[in-house]
Amino acid sequence: MPLSIFGFQALWSPYLIGVLVFITVIYFLVTTKWRKDFKVSEPLKKGEAIYFVLAMVTIYIIKGSPIDLMAHIMFTMHMVQMAILLLLVPIFLIKGIPWWVWKVAIEAPVVRSLFKVLTFPVAAVFVFIGLFSFYHLPAVLDYIKLNETLHGTYTFVLFVSAVLMYWPLIQKMPNQPQMKPLHKLAYIIANAVLITPACALIIFAPNAMYETYTNGEAWLKAMELCVPVATLSSLSLSGPELFTNMTSVADQQLGGVLMKILQEIIFGVLLGAIFLNWYRAEQKDPDKITADALKEHQKKWESQQQH
């Protein structure tokens, strides 16, 4: 059965286009025309603008295109959507928003202390993994998908936790502590290991676990998240099997596998980038590194002589 039966609004989310365009306009006004109001002379970098636009386009592709509709029909597409939204888009946003904009946001009185705690590496990892794993417990996911407000709120909180998880790894704000390359590698590996049990639960479950992808009544209720109620009531639909030849178990298993594969690809690229930057830093000025080491050794020797 073709997806076109759900109508243009469900397929292309025109309201989301308006929201994302508005956010993009505000972004460019703040970072160009209004930046002097923040007493900032640093111009918007081309790379930052590209990353931000990539973030907006990617959000629309996964939340406003037919992919979002398919994510409510097939668990496989749901997991692909989650992987891109939580593991890729936060990277684009952190890199795309200038450091001085972040500084204004995170140093607000209400935010400062909480942000510091939630971006502490250990806390950031466990909060994100905990929220992600909790969300994909069958009873929890089915309950959340049946309530539009709860679904939107939890998705937003989960996305914010993903941004906080990536923050210690990617941010390059002046006068802010930076993780050492070796610590970054351990941080990424820890993320990959800790998310594995949630994926394994989905992949190796002997039966389909989610009512909103198997039970016709629950599925129709969940579809109200992306399809107008009036449109759904005019259709005669029994369940997601009308749109796919895959069994529910195969769909669920493939979703878990694709989530893990996409995560490994994204983390693999990050590992490669960290190794490359580490190598370049070591090769950039080895003489300076040696000179600094000699000066430090000399200071220690002179101190010992004085005593």
Model confidence pLDDT, tens digit, residues 5-26? 999 999 999 999 999 999 999 9
Q: For residue range 264-273, what is the model confidence (pLDDT) as tens digits?
A: 999 999 999 9
Q: Which positions ≥6 away from 95 have C-beta within 8 Å?
A: 47, 48, 51, 170
108 has pLDDT over 90: no
**pLDDT on residue 295:** 59
**pLDDT on residue 260:** 96
**Intra-chain end-to-end CA distance of the chain, in Å:** 86
Q: How far is the CA of 125 from the CAs of 80, 181, 187, 258, in angstroms?
A: 21, 17, 8, 21
**Which of 234, 219, 204 shows the shortest CA–CA distance to 72?**
219
Q: Which positions ≥6 away from 284 have C-beta within 8 Å?
A: none
Q: How far is the CA of 95 from the CAs of 18, 42, 168, 209, in angstroms?
A: 23, 16, 12, 37
Token pair belonging to 133 = 């794993």
Cα distance between residue 12 and residue 23, in whole Å: 18
**pLDDT on residue 169:** 95
- Highest mean pLDDT among 28-42, 99-113, 163-177, 262-276 belongs to 262-276
What is this structure's pTM?
0.90
Compute CA 2 distance to the chain's CA centroid, rounded to the nearest angstrom: 30
Q: Which positions ≥6 away from 112 have C-beta within 8 Å?
A: 106
Q: For residue range 274-305, what is the model confidence (pLDDT) as tens digits?
A: 999 888 887 775 555 455 555 555 565 555 55
Q: How far is the CA of 256 from the CAs of 78, 134, 152, 195, 226, in angstroms?
A: 10, 15, 22, 11, 23
**pLDDT on residue 291:** 53
Cα distance between residue 220 and residue 240, in whole Å: 9
Cα distance between residue 212 and residue 140, in whole Å: 11
Q: Please compute the mean of the pLDDT values over residues 115-130 and round it to a whole number.
A: 95
Q: pLDDT-derived band of residue 188, with 50, 70 and 90 as boundaries?
A: very high
135 has pLDDT over 90: yes
**Which of 161, 28, 40 shows the shortest CA–CA distance to 96?**
28
Backbone Cα Rg of the chain: 23
| Residue bearing tokens 């600094």 | 292
Token pair belonging to 163 = 């941004």
Phi, psi of 37 (to 5 degrees): -65, -25
Assess contact for 191 and 129: CB atoms under 8 A.
Answer: yes
